[in-house]
Amino acid sequence: MFIERNVSLQPLNSFGIAARAALLARVRGEADARAVLADAEMAALPKFVLGGGSNIVLTGDVKHMVLKVEVPGRRVVGETERHHIVEAGAGETWHDFVTWTLDQGLPGLENLALIPGTVGASPVQNIGAYGVELQDRFHELDAIDLHTGEVFTLDAAQCGFGYRDSVFKHVARQEGDFGLAGRALILRVRFALPKAWQPVLGYLDIERRMAEEGVAVPSARQLYDWIVAIRRAKLPDPAVIGNAGSFFKNPTVTPEQCADIIGRDPKVVHYPMPDGSVKLAAGWLIDACGWRGKRVGNAGVYDKQALVLVNAGGAQAPATGGEVMTLAKAIQTSVYERFGIRLEPEPMVV
Ligand code: EPU
C-alpha cells in the first residue's frame, strides 16, 4: 500500500481544480484497504473514495482520508444462458475496458464508449449515454465495507440504481438508512453482456450517421466509432479543457408544466418518458438563458454544449471550486426565474 501526505489533487480530478488531501492511500486490492483499517490512526478518519475524479467538484482541501482506487484486472469470468459475464477491477479506465470487451468479440457496452472515469465509478452514478445505462448491462459488484473490512457482493436491486444515481451517492446518517457513500469501496464490477446482441439505436445523432453512411444495421464496432466521434465533436476532452461532463441532470416535469413552457418557448427540447412525465434537455434550458461561453472568474460554460461547465483557466490559472459553484448557482437561478425549474447538479460536490 502507498500512503502519501499533503497530496495535490489537481491531477486527480478531471476539472483540474487545485486542492490538496492531507492523507491519501492508493488501494490496489482488498489487502490495501484492510491495511488502512488495521491502522488505528487511519481507521478512525472519515474516508473519501476517489476513482478517476471525473465526476467531482472539489470546493476546498479534502479533510477526509482519500482512498484512490487502483484495483487492476479485466477478464471473462463465465456465462449464463443469455449472457457473457465479464469483470473489471474498479481502477481500470472505463473507456479502455469498453474497447477491450469489443476486442474480445463481446458487444454490449459500445454506447457507453468514451465516458470519462473508471470502472469503479461507473455504478456510482449509473453512467448512461445514447439509450444505454450501466444498469442495463450490470451483473454484480464486490465492495469492501470500510467500517468492518468485510467484502460483500451487491446485485442491481441492492445498488438502488436511478437516473445518474445509486446507493453509493447517498450517505446513511444511521444504521439501516439507504446509503453507502464513504462506507463502501467498490473493488470489482461484473457485467452481463447479451449473447443475442442487438444495436441500441434511436438517438438522433446516431440515426443521422446511419442515414449519411447508408447503414441499416450497424455493427457494435461501427456504433462505437460513431459514438467516439460524436462525443469528441460535442464534449471537451478533459485532458485539454478540465470538466466533469454534464454538470446538471436533465430535469423531469409534468405534462402540464411542459405544455406551459412550450406555450412560451415552443422550441424547448423535451422527451416524453414511459411513466408519463416529460424530460427536458437541461443544456437547451441553460443555452436559452444565454449562458453559452459565459464565465465567472476562471470557471466557464462550454461554448459548444451549455450543459458542460469547464475550467477555462487551464492548469496555470485553474478555476476554484468556489468559482465553479458560483457559476452553477447563477445558472440555476436564471433557469428557475425563466422556466420555474430547479436544476440539480450531476457531479458530487466535495
Ligand atoms: N442543446 C442546446 N444547447 C446546448 C446544449 C444542448 O440546445 O448548449 C440541446 C441539443 O441540441 C439537444 C438537447 O439539448 O437537442 C440535448 O443535448 P445533448 O444530446 O447534447 O445532451 P443531453 O441529452 O442533455 C445526455 C447525458 C450525457 C450523454 C448524452 C448522450 C445527462 C445529464 N447527460 O446529455 O451524459 O452523453 O445524453 O446520451 O443525462 C454525462 O452524464 O456526463 C453526460 C455527458
90: pLDDT strictly greater than 90: yes
339 lines ligand 1 (CB under 6 A): no
Average pLDDT over residues 317-338: 96
How high is the pLDDT of residue 263?
Answer: 94
Question: What are the pLDDT digits (tens) for 121-137?
Answer: 999 999 999 999 999 99
Average pLDDT over residues 301-327: 95
Confidence of residue 103 (pLDDT cuts 50, 70, 90): very high
Question: What are the pLDDT digits (tens) for 205-228?
Answer: 999 999 999 999 999 999 999 999
346 lines ligand 1 (CB under 6 A): yes
Q: pTM above the 0.95 mark?
A: no
Ligand 1 centre from 281 Cα, in Å?
6
How high is the pLDDT of residue 173?
Answer: 87
Mutate-to-test residue for ligand 1 from 246, 270, 279, highest number of ligand atoms within 8 A of CB: 246
130 lines ligand 1 (CB under 6 A): yes
Question: What are the pLDDT digits (tens) for 266-298?
Answer: 999 999 999 999 999 999 999 999 999 999 999
Question: What are the pLDDT digits (tens) for 2-48?
Answer: 899 999 999 999 999 999 999 999 999 999 999 999 999 999 999 99
How high is the pLDDT of residue 142?
Answer: 98
Confidence of residue 1 (pLDDT cuts 50, 70, 90): low
Ligand 1 centre from 234 Cα, in Å?
9
How high is the pLDDT of residue 9?
Answer: 97
Percent of the chain exceeding pLDDT 90 equals: 95
How high is the pLDDT of residue 209?
Answer: 95
Mutate-to-test residue for ligand 1 from 279, 307, 309, 335, highest number of ligand atoms within 8 A of CB: 307
Average pLDDT over residues 227-255: 95
How high is the pLDDT of residue 315?
Answer: 84
Average pLDDT over residues 93-122: 97
Confidence of residue 65 (pLDDT cuts 50, 70, 90): very high
If one compares 54 and 176, the residue with the highest pLDDT of the two is 54
Ligand 1 centre from 21 Cα, in Å?
33
Question: What are the pLDDT digits (tens) for 183-199?
Answer: 999 999 999 999 999 99
Q: Chain-wide mean pLDDT for the chain?
A: 95
- HEC string for the chain: CEEEEEEECHHHCCCCCCCEEEEEEEECCHHHHHHHHHCHHHHHCCEEEECCCCCEECCCCECCEEEEECCCCEEEEEECCCEEEEEEECCCEHHHHHHHHHHCCCCCCHHHCCCCCECCCCCCCCCEECCEEHHHHEEEEEEEECCCCCEEEEEHHHHCCECCECHHHCCCCCCCCCCCCCCEEEEEEEEEEECCCCCCCCCHHHHHHHHHHCCCCCCHHHHHHHHHHHHHHHCCCCCCCEEEEECECCCEECHHHHHHHHHHCCCCCEEECCCCCEEECHHHHHHHCCCCCCEECCEEECCCCCCEEEECCCCCCCCCHHHHHHHHHHHHHHHHHHHCCCCCECCEEC
